[in-house]
Amino acid sequence: MVTTNGWTRRDFIRRTSAVGAAAIGGPILLSACGGGSDSAEDVLEKGRKQGFLRVGVANEPPYTKVAAENVTGVEPDILRTVLKRLGIDRIEGVITPYDQMIPGLQAGRWDVVAAGLFMKQSRCGQVLYSEPTIVSTESFGVRKGNPKKITTLASIKDHSDLKIAVLSGGFEEGILKEKGMPAGRQIQVRDGRSGIEAVKSGRADAFFLPTLSLEDLVKSDKAIEVTKPVDDAPVTGAGHCFRKKDKAAHDKYNKELAALKKTPEFGKILEKWGFHASDVEGVTTKQLCKTSG
Ligand code: 6CS
């Protein structure tokens, strides 16, 4: 039973909704507590011994989804499948904001990140990414009818009156910074729901987030529409992140992931969540890690 500050897991989840607590910026354990950072023990060996690995997730469907403490979404489902092939039957999710995923991994608060943490130079320099698991697109969530005609990065860059909501520390925030958008025009939010509310309240003119995440967020919200994929945004490709000291485990994981990709099961997992195996075919971590930011 997880205990956090003496609370039982049920108390913890009841009193601080997973998203709420993540919104405050703290990671949320969804399972048994475990030790802190590893010593030199191979992380896969640790997983086999204790029967699970702890994974950093965001709870942003379809990339990661937490319901009744069950961690799914395209990334955890791929991770769970590969780990099973490596003799590790379970994963335990820890909900955390994107900007804490790598620091938490380095600190040993979780053993791997499988959250759709898109590859870019600054991230690739800190961790070992597996080969790509998904490639996806970015869009804008805008008010119905898209009154400000926000469709591409070029369409927002020169309109100094436009304010864009982004997840703090997220890939999209990095894109806007790379494009030279002043910080004053970026509305930082902690999670998807807050980004949608920022657009509905008029605090922001658009919410910049992956297309499939926006579609999941607004599926029952008629006030917001999702633009077509932003054609001048960088490619958003993700893999699973390991600590640099876990290179042996990373290499074993990559080998097993490559074997999974050759089976129909890989495509089935992606399609269940709206992704396509053909999009990631032939794409490499080396290519995606060239993305600036
Ligand atoms: O990699 C990131 O930072 C982005 N990934 C996802 C799946 N959603 C938003 C986030 O900014």
Q: Tokens representing 132?
A: 């790509």
> pLDDT exceeding 90 applies to what percent of the chain?
82
Rounded Cα distance, 30 and 234, in Å: 33
Per-residue pLDDT at 45: 95
Extents of the domains making up the chain: 9-135+237-288, 138-226
68 alpha carbon – ligand 1 mean position (Å): 23
- Our answer on whether the CB atom of 116 is closer than 6 Å to any ligand 1 atom is yes
CB 260 within 8 A of CB 244: no
Read off the pLDDT band of 245 (50, 70, 90).
very high
Rounded Cα distance, 239 and 135, in Å: 9
153 alpha carbon – ligand 1 mean position (Å): 17
Per-residue pLDDT, averaged over 48-69, amounts to 93
Q: Which of 21-25, 173-177, 202-206 has the lowest mean pLDDT?
A: 21-25
CB 270 within 8 A of CB 74: yes
- The H or E element spanning position 188 is strand 186-189
- Our answer on whether the CB atom of 142 is closer than 6 Å to any ligand 1 atom is no
173 alpha carbon – ligand 1 mean position (Å): 9
- Our answer on whether the CB atom of 167 is closer than 6 Å to any ligand 1 atom is yes
Helices (H) and strands (E) in the chain, counts: 14, 17
Per-residue pLDDT, averaged over 44-52, amounts to 95
Read off the pLDDT band of 192 (50, 70, 90).
very high
* DSSP string computed for 140-163: EEEETT-TT---SHHHHHT-TT--
- Our answer on whether the CB atom of 117 is closer than 6 Å to any ligand 1 atom is yes
Per-residue pLDDT at 1: 30
Fold of 138-226: D-Maltodextrin-Binding Protein; domain 2 (3.40.190)
- Our answer on whether the CB atom of 63 is closer than 6 Å to any ligand 1 atom is yes
Residues 6+ apart with CB under 8 A from 178: 292, 293
pLDDT tens track for 108-127: 999 999 999 999 999 999 99
CB 175 within 8 A of CB 208: yes
Rounded Cα distance, 113 and 115, in Å: 6
Minimum CA distance residue for ligand 1 atom 10:
170
- Our answer on whether the CB atom of 141 is closer than 6 Å to any ligand 1 atom is no
- First-to-last CA distance in the chain? 40
Distance of CA 290 to the CA centre of its chain: 19
CATH of range 9-135+237-288; options 3.30.465.10, 3.40.190.10, 3.30.360.10, 2.10.109.10: 3.40.190.10
Assess whether the previous peptide bond of 62 is cis (omega < 30° from 0): yes
Per-residue pLDDT at 140: 98
Give 283's Cβ-side CA count (13 Å radius): 21
Read off the pLDDT band of 40 (50, 70, 90).
low
- The region that residue 154 occupies, defined by phi over 0 for left and psi between -120 and 50 for alpha, beta otherwise, is alpha
15 alpha carbon – ligand 1 mean position (Å): 27
Tell whether the model's pLDDT for residue 282 goes beyond 70.
yes
Q: Average pLDDT of the chain?
A: 89
pLDDT tens track for 78-90: 999 999 999 999 9
Distance of CA 269 to the CA centre of its chain: 16
Per-residue pLDDT at 159: 83
138-226: same fold as 9-135+237-288? yes
